Amino acid sequence: MVKPRIRLLLLVIFAFTPIIGKISAQNPGKVWMKYSSPEEAGFSSEKLKAVYDLYEKNKASAIMVIYNGNVLLSKGDITRRYDIHSMRKSLISALYGIYKAKGKIKIDKTLKQLSIDDNEKLTEIEKTATIQDLLKARSGIYIGAFGETKSMEKDRPKRGSHAPNTFFYYNNWDFNVLGQIFQQETKLNLFAAFDKSIAKPLQMEDYRLIDGRFWSDSTRNTKFPKYDIKMTARDLARFGVLYSNDGFWNKKKIIKNQWIWDTFTPYSYIDHKTYREAYGYLWWIEMIDDTIPMYSALGAGGHVLSVVPKYHLVMVKRHDTFGNGAGDTWGGMYIKKILAARVTKPAKKPKLVPLGVEEEQIVSINMPKEELKNYEQKIKLNGRIRKIEYTAKYGLLYDDWFVMKPISQNKFYLEDYNRYMYFKVINGRPVFDRIE
């Protein structure tokens, strides 16, 4: 995740204190409910225009703002699954909290105790790093990792320059290894565990097992693959509401209070020219106007999930990074404008209506299994081998991630990617031609 260079001016903050809101907000049911007007929630429609203006200026693809468990505003394609990029780390943080409470994970275990090593062998000092150190991005292990950006590679410290838990470095090696450790300790698939312990209890509307994948290539000398997750804005908003409600969902405790407290505790401070931020257990921590804690999951290209527990406020912003769209990854600009639109107390019994959504309808044709299997093949794109593979449940999948809907024998629609894949026939078999 690349941190943005342009942000609002903030005073330097010398301390962060986790503030958890009182458990008073409701959770959405199977379908999101929306205030019939912002005024029902105590907000000014006129002042909220500043949020929409910022959304347009930032060229975002979707936004949702949740207040007290209901939708205050939404715009764009909230039902399209985008890559969440580095927001994946905040999701896995929740899983660690849940399975720590089950006794499946002990975060004080060292890498040596866990028998974790890499192709570039770890030193004895590096092996003293604990799971907790990795959650803080303070492992002191500086090895190239999948998903590492050029700026991360450039800023990576030298091997052995810092002992475990003495230095913060936003380290994809730490994050990728956490995926491996989770599966090793729980004996569960990472994405299946998320589905069982978070997606289903929160009644996520769009998440599927195929929306998570592991991948690696030949660009890094490491044995730990990167894990990716696709998710819609409306499902991410549910995850944010879980944290804004102290880990409760419909009066059931999903995440323990202590874990949320520990997660939102600042273990590292990052000073910039005009502001300071902090890092907890795979969550970013900032202050709005020096008084209001904001906790964020951030992803490259402008993907933001910001939670303000003090006001039971959640904001999700998405960009079409599949189509090279990108924006600023700081939610503070939006949160300030949203809070500025609060003008009165909400109605005691606010009028709510079901959130209407428009989903693009792709007209596809039926194609028998035997014919679909003819399209199975491997493709090399952007330095990685990608597969087209038939599955009984979804039909053809591209790159383990995108459902392929047949439009014709030579043309398939790639769901979520929102592109078309074309084939040409060579020696009687369909062969990949291009994506556009």
**Per-residue pLDDT tens over the stretch 14-29:** 445 554 444 456 788 8
Q: At what angle do helices 88-101 and 172-186 cross, to 10 degrees?
A: 30
pLDDT for the residue numbered 245: 93
- Measure the CA–CA gap between 307 and 305, rounded to whole angstroms: 7
Q: CATH 3.40.710.10 in the chain: give the residue spans.
A: 1-359
Do 259 and 232 contact (CB within 8 A), yes or no? no
Question: Torsions phi, psi of 374, nearest 5?
Answer: -65, -20
- Measure the CA–CA gap between 252 and 259, rounded to whole angstroms: 15
Structure tokens at 143: 């090895």
Question: Torsions phi, psi of 93, nearest 5?
Answer: -60, -40
Which of 103-117, 209-223, 311-325 is the most confident on average? 103-117
3-class state of residue 263 by DSSP = helix
356 confidence band (pLDDT: 50, 70, 90): confident
Residues 76-99 pLDDT 10s: 999 999 999 999 999 999 999 999
pLDDT for the residue numbered 25: 60
pLDDT for the residue numbered 10: 37
Structure tokens at 193: 């565990």
Do 245 and 70 contact (CB within 8 A), yes or no? no
Q: Roughly how many angstroms between the first and final C-alpha of the chain, as a whole number?
A: 26
pLDDT for the residue numbered 349: 94
DSSP conformational letter for 129: -
pLDDT for the residue numbered 4: 37
* Closest-CA residue to 202 (of 306, 292, 311, 98): 98
Average pLDDT over residues 362-369: 93
Question: Torsions phi, psi of 322, nearest 5?
Answer: -65, -30
Is the entire prediction scored with pTM above 0.85?
yes
- Give pairs for 153-162: CB < 8 Å, separation 24+: 159/123, 160/123, 160/125, 160/126
pLDDT for the residue numbered 212: 96
* Closest-CA residue to 87 (of 297, 313, 390): 297
Do 193 and 161 contact (CB within 8 A), yes or no? no
Average pLDDT over residues 126-130: 98
Locate tokens 């949160």: which residue?
335
Average pLDDT over residues 125-134: 98
* 275, pLDDT greater than 80: no
**Extended strands (E) in 78-149:** 82-83
The gap from C-alpha 99 to its chain's centroid, in whole angstroms, comes to 19
- Residue 162: CB atoms within 10 A of its CB come to 18
* 423, pLDDT greater than 90: yes
**Extended strands (E) in 319-409:** 352-354, 377-381, 384-391, 395-398, 402-408
Do 406 and 394 contact (CB within 8 A), yes or no? no
- Measure the CA–CA gap between 316 and 306, rounded to whole angstroms: 7
328 confidence band (pLDDT: 50, 70, 90): confident
* 5, pLDDT greater than 80: no
Any idea which of 16-20, 46-50, 102-106 has the lowest mean pLDDT?
A: 16-20
Structure tokens at 149: 């950006």
Question: Torsions phi, psi of 133, nearest 5?
Answer: -60, -40
b/e per residue, 380-415, with b = 16+ CB within 10 A?
Answer: eeeeeebebbbeeebbbbbbebbbbbbbeeeebbbb
Residues 384-422 pLDDT 10s: 889 999 999 999 999 999 999 999 999 999 999 999 999
pLDDT for the residue numbered 18: 54
What does the angle CA 265 – CA 269 – CA 275 come to, to the nearest 5 degrees? 115
- Measure the CA–CA gap between 281 and 68, rounded to whole angstroms: 25
Tell me the average pLDDT of the chain: 92
**Ordered DSSP codes for 280-327:** -SS-EEEEETTTEEEEEEEETTTEEEEEEGGGTEEEEEE--GGGT---
pLDDT for the residue numbered 3: 41
Structure tokens at 411: 């043309």
* Closest-CA residue to 19 (of 275, 294, 240): 294
pLDDT for the residue numbered 160: 97
Average pLDDT over residues 25-50: 93
3-class state of residue 373 by DSSP = helix
* Closest-CA residue to 233 (of 88, 40, 67, 84): 84
Average pLDDT over residues 298-309: 95
Residue 204, by phi and psi: left (phi above 0), alpha (psi -120 to 50) or beta?
A: beta
The fold of 1-359 is Beta-lactamase (3.40.710)
